[in-house]
Amino acid sequence: SSVSRPRSAENRQIVPSAGQIRASTFKVAILGAAGGIGQPLSLLIKMSPLISGLHLYDIANVKGVAADLSHCNTPAQILDFTGPAELANSLKDVDVVVIPAGVPRKPGMTRDDLFNINAGIVRTLVEAVADNSPNAFIQIISNPVNSTVPIAAEVLKKKGVYDPKKLFGVTTLDVVRANTFVAQKKNLRLIDVDVPVVGGHAGITILPLLSKTKPSVTFTQDEIEQLTIRIQNAGTEVVEAKAGAGSATLSMAYAAARFVESSLRALDGDPDVYECSYIQSELTELPFFASRIKLGKKGVEAVIASDLEGLTEYEQKSLEALKPELKASIEKGIAFANK
């Protein structure tokens, strides 16, 4: 159905070039659409030629966002839904549900400090997804992702509709950051650079596999340590720069739009779609783990296990070091969902 599509994982684009003609057939719901991430994410998704309907849900302020976006002359029809009474309808007939609802960090906070508020929000929203769009791809942005994805899995299990191939923690921003920082440091063309990032999405659980960077690059040990720490703390860099006004929203929206667009390309039958994501996994002894995956019509089609083979000593040590923290975050999420 497409005239030309980018072939490699590194060479993808969000905005289609003129001449790309595709049927716009998919529907996407964004839960938390009026927020700092939700608004620019809605705008970027509105630009996708693959979308026929964009459902914007929030507990407040969504009407204005929807009216505004609806004037863009791209195919996606915008519908707005406000408050719990309209949540179910926002989820009817959608192919992808993206969840950026919840509170963001302020300076001095870790992602885990958000747990008490966001865990409940994610549970409620995913219950509604289970009831109204059980076959949709579910993409969780709300932090702490390391715990909110296991919460979502438990909720879906209780509802009898859990498909581990269709539940994703959005870690694309870690890849986007790694690509940007590596390209800057090594003077590479940004479009060429692709760094797999594995583990989880908080602090030391974010593990960029710099030895697997494409194109192949050599780093000094100093460079590896500096880049790894910068990628792990990049979110905090933004939180501190915003000084109380929130965390990453624009780069996050960009990253999530890329993940959504990749998912839609996969649903549309593109056989060559790869992204990193935090999913139920057998790659390590941990039940959830972020890694590169191949996306297909039914969700996760394959896990790229070879990324964890032949790691450097530094990467291997970092991998072992992140496991206890990630394990604790997973268990915290599961315990919350079952209490």
Catalytically active residues, by annotation: 201
Residue 182 or 276 with smaller CB distance to ligand NAI: 276
Among all chains, which residue has been given the structure tokens 């942005």? 141
Cβ burial, residue 271 (10 Å; 0-12/13-18/19+):
exposed
With contact defined as beta carbons under 8 Å apart, do 50 and 264 qualify? yes
Among all chains, which residue has been given the structure tokens 């915008």? 78
Q: Which of 30, 76, 167, 170 binds ligand NAI (CB under 6 A)?
A: 170
Minimum CB separation of residue 325 from ligand NAI in Å reads 17
Minimum CB separation of residue 149 from ligand NAI in Å reads 10
Binding mask 128-167 for ligand NAI (x = CB under 6 A): -------------xxx-x----------------------
Between CA 110 and CA 274, with CA 175 as vertex, the angle to 5 degrees is 130
Minimum CB separation of residue 218 from ligand NAI in Å reads 29
Q: Which of 58, 80, 261, 307 binds ligand NAI (CB under 6 A)?
A: 58
Q: Which of 16, 27, 28, 36 binds ligand NAI (CB under 6 A)?
A: 36
Does 334 help bind ligand NAI (rule: CB under 6 A)?
no
Distances in whole angstroms, Cα of residue 210 to Cα of each of 113, 191, 194, 214, 251: 29, 16, 9, 9, 21
Q: Which residues between 228 and 287 bind ligand NAI (CB under 6 A)?
A: 246-249, 252
The residue with its CB nearest to ligand NAI is 35
Q: Which residues between 78 and 117 bind ligand NAI (CB under 6 A)?
A: 100-105, 114
Minimum CB separation of residue 328 from ligand NAI in Å reads 19
Q: Which of 30, 98, 173, 175 binds ligand NAI (CB under 6 A)?
A: 173
Q: Which of 14, 43, 59, 217 binds ligand NAI (CB under 6 A)?
A: 59
Q: Which of 16, 26, 27, 32 binds ligand NAI (CB under 6 A)?
A: 32
Minimum CB separation of residue 147 from ligand NAI in Å reads 11
Select from 56-64, 221-229, 266-274, 286-294 the region that touches ligand NAI (CB under 6 A). Answer: 56-64
Other Cβ atoms closer than 10 A to 163: 17
Residue 164 or 246 with smaller CB distance to ligand NAI: 246
Residue 156 or 238 with smaller CB distance to ligand NAI: 238
Q: Which residues between 284 and 303 bind ligand NAI (CB under 6 A)?
A: none
Q: Which of 17, 18, 19, 60 binds ligand NAI (CB under 6 A)?
A: 60
**How many residues make contact with ligand NAI (CB under 6 A)?**
33
Q: Which of 29, 34, 126, 276 binds ligand NAI (CB under 6 A)?
A: 34
Binding footprint of ligand NAI on the chain (CB under 6 A)? 31-32, 34-38, 58-60, 100-105, 114, 118, 121, 124-125, 141-143, 145, 170, 173, 201, 246-249, 252
